[in-house]
Chains A and B, each alone.
Chain A
């Protein structure tokens, strides 16, 4: 089966120890997590994990179902890049001296839609957001001038649908709860 990069989004209750439960499913299936971000979602009390991993569709679909099987997981989905809007953030620390000496920096900052966050006598910090390839390109361009420190975030992603995909699920669950109460 063809391998590609999948983005998995996991919606969970806000319980301790869930990260471990999510990651061990990947470990058991011998799939490396490329990046992982955890944040709140648009729904109060619901947390969202965004995970990227390179594997085939058969494997990622099994991983998603096995994650969903955990009690405190609400719902999990997987996407290919075409189905989502996604972004990463990178920070570069370069020496201010080389920055000043290098005439191309302004071109680079403009070209990559980056911005300069801080300038001190010793160093400057450049921030860039974009896709992995764009970040790798700026990294390659800056490298000859010397990068003192570099850090890149995990991918964050939202779907092309209008609301959180978990909302329909939550509505369905709520009606189930109400029917339980009325019994």
Chain B
């Protein structure tokens, strides 16, 4: 017989866990006590806040493809994990989050550090379950890892009462491979595949829009084979940026609010739109009524509830893209769409002339965010992951960091969680230790989780943090400037000296604000062994273009302020 707490550790070993993120506290002490004897089995990362632990686990999961594991206590710790759980739910990130809970006898009595974790987390998790008896721990943990990992991945919360941690049980572990009520991998419909192939074979101007589902389904080679067989140009969503390298011939760029002009324009010119592992977020579609009204739409997704949720589609193929893409590739005819693909080029040229050139070679003295990202992208290694926070820094990172399967772009897409970036980079560095890890934050977002400097100090992690400081909450400021009559309500920020803060943590750091110092500062940061903070003072009133205003048709692209 072993205790529930030890059983928990044994379950983690069965699930091949190597890293745990978390923070101890009253009702999870038994589990942490058991962990003390398993220090050779798991690397435990003590973050400085539970929110940081969840975002770190997300970063870990996003680069490794394995579920990120979090272990925290009850009450305030459990409420602190909610933001990360909601973020992981939106972005389909596999997480297993263990929260401690009061004793069963005390449940419902408003006892110390008791909170209704299941009630709070159910709407923002794939599964949320309370374990009250030690003997249920192996079953619940096996189920939790299975649910987090398979099908469309997502976060799972296991709320384990203190009694279940201290009671004894006979330990038997059986990994979960089947849940009667949950079909993780639906079988693609043969007739839907035939219909889709017929549409693609008849298409003159097909366009694929690729989302994170292709990466989650590990179907990147299958995607390339599909696109190449019928010469189909493809755009990616923000979450799908790591799937195709910038120089991949069929990559037409990013769609969406701050995406590239060419794929946004051609969305409304194509005759068949093939959406692959994406969910038609409002940031991609703009006004739904004027989104690709001329096109036949084919939707490949693993989640049946995504079909016809935002955009009505003509053919739906509900399956893992790893299975549906090769099946579809078999049915399509080889084709050439040279003229159609060439029709993207003038838009690309227009974007370069009107936006990119101004971003990269500005006439003004102050640095732009784009200059920083371009320099980082040029100097970073071929295996380097970039984590972005949320806001202008994120959009500029998406636009100017050249991502690919070996240079992943990681950001909070659906929930848009400021403060995500820095802790997610900690997890990314652990999940992909061979890669260089960079994280770009604004002066606002970094201060939401800046306490994690303590974490990279403690574990001496080679995380390189770039703070793009414009002394504003830049994206909100941009909306205020463009749509709210320049009424800058609560967006200017008085900031601390970030270099001194880093110094207080014993972390090497520099601040640059002159163009002539930028390249060298980035080179120094890259060359530095261990953690590093680079603050770059950038222009205060920079604007991210192109921009499609929220809710407006995707044809309404703003290219600059006077357009």
A pairs with B: yes
Q: Is the CB of A173 within 8 A of B183?
A: yes
In the assembly, what is the distance between CA of A156 and CA of B309, in Å? 29
A-side interface residues, number (CB < 8 Å): 23
Q: Is the CB of A62 within 8 A of B309?
A: yes
Q: A65-B304, A173-B183 are in contact. Are A71 and B122 (CB under 8 A)?
A: no
Q: Which residues of A contact B181 (CB under 8 A)?
A: 12-13, 71-74
Q: A17-B118, A62-B309, A65-B304 are in contact. Are A71 and B180 (CB under 8 A)?
A: no
In the assembly, what is the distance between CA of A17 and CA of B119, in Å? 8
In the assembly, what is the distance between CA of A151 and CA of B293, in Å? 50
Q: Which residues of A contact B178 (CB under 8 A)?
A: 176-177, 180
Q: Would you give the 0/1 interface string for A13-56, flagging 1 where the beta carbon is closer than 8 Å to chain B?
A: 10011001100100010000000000000000000000000000
Which of B118, B180, B303, B309 meets A74, CB within 8 Å? B180
In the assembly, what is the distance between CA of A68 and CA of B304, in Å? 9
Q: Which residues of B contact A69 (CB under 8 A)?
A: 303-305
Q: Would you give the 0/1 interface string for A63-103, flagging 1 where the beta carbon is closer than 8 Å to chain B?
A: 00110110111100000000000000000000000000000
Q: Which residues of A contact B183 (CB under 8 A)?
A: 173, 176
Q: Which residues of B contact A65 (CB under 8 A)?
A: 304-305, 307, 309
Q: Which residues of B contact A177 (CB under 8 A)?
A: 178, 180
In the assembly, what is the distance between CA of A16 and CA of B116, in Å? 14
Q: Which residues of B contact A71 (CB under 8 A)?
A: 126-127, 147, 179, 181-182
Q: Which residues of A contact B334 (CB under 8 A)?
A: none
In the assembly, what is the distance between CA of A166 and CA of B154, in Å? 26
Q: Which residues of A contact B497 (CB under 8 A)?
A: none
For residue A25, which residue of chain B has the nearest CB?
Answer: B123
Q: Which residues of A contact B180 (CB under 8 A)?
A: 13, 74, 170, 173, 177
Q: Which residues of A contact B308 (CB under 8 A)?
A: 61-62
CB within 8 Å of A: which B123-161 residues: 123, 126-128, 130, 147
Q: Which residues of B contact A12 (CB under 8 A)?
A: 181
Q: Which residues of B contact A74 (CB under 8 A)?
A: 180-181
Q: Is the CB of B179 within 8 A of A21?
A: no
Q: Which residues of B contact A180 (CB under 8 A)?
A: 177-178
In the assembly, what is the distance between CA of A12 and CA of B147, in Å? 17
In the assembly, what is the distance between CA of A71 and CA of B347, in Å? 45
In the assembly, what is the distance between CA of A12 and CA of B181, in Å? 8
CB within 8 Å of A: which B166-200 residues: 177-183
In the assembly, what is the distance between CA of A24 and CA of B127, in Å? 14
Q: Which residues of A contact B122 (CB under 8 A)?
A: 17, 20-21, 24
Interface contacts beyond A17-B122, A65-B305, A180-B177: sample of 12 additional A-B pairs, CB < 8 Å, sorted by A: A13-B181, A20-B119, A24-B123, A28-B123, A68-B304, A69-B304, A71-B179, A73-B181, A74-B180, A170-B180, A176-B178, A177-B178
List the interface of chain A (C-beta within 8 A of B): 12-13, 16-17, 20-21, 24, 28, 61-62, 65-66, 68-69, 71-74, 170, 173, 176-177, 180
